Amino acid sequence: MPEPTASVLFTTVDSPIGPLTLMARDGNLTHLVMQDQAHATTAPAGSTRDDDAFTGVAAQLDEYFAGERTTFDVPMRLDGTDFQRRVWTELCGIPYGETISYGELARRVGNPKASRAVGLANGRNPIAVIVPCHRVIAADGSLGGYGGGTDRKVHLLELERSPGS
């Protein structure tokens, strides 16, 4: 959850997976929220809509959805527990177009028996798409869950696997 609201800026941008609400504090992106996302956060009371503050992020998202960008260069602030932040940091290390299992992610954060905890942290990722939680799948190759919905996960994975991406 964002801290005191006076410095929280937000905007909503259109995307192929629906409207995305972006929130930032002190120049750092804190949230990218999809419409009807599980564990969604809304801009707190007293936040300020500022479309201009997000032009760089919006441009990078446009490039990503056009298949022209494979990594993001966005200043972020990931607020969560130490374990959640370790998981989210590892998510950023999964290369574009690749997937790993929840078990592999648990191994990468140093706790190979924590697949379930990794899945819970993955589901609480505050900056979807940019912190690519969609790249984590079940060990049997099935998609597993996704806070943004299975259709969006499929869309993102297909985007990253398509020729020319």
β-pairing verdict for 28-34 and 20-25: antiparallel
Alpha helices by DSSP H, listed for the chain, are 55-65, 82-91, 102-108, 115-123, 150-161
Secondary structure of the chain: what % helix, strand, coil (to 5)?
35, 15, 50
Matching residue, tokens 């192929």: 16
Instruction: Considering the candidates 17, 22, 100, 133, report the single residue annotated as catalytic.
Output: 133
144 and 122 Cβ atoms separated by less than 8 Å: no
* Residue 25, number of CB atoms within 10 A of its CB: 19
Q: CA–CA distance from 127 to each of 12, 88, 162, 163 (Å)?
A: 14, 9, 23, 26
Active site residue 92: no
Tell me the DSSP string of 40-59.
---PPTT-EE-GGGGHHHHH
Catalytic residues: 133
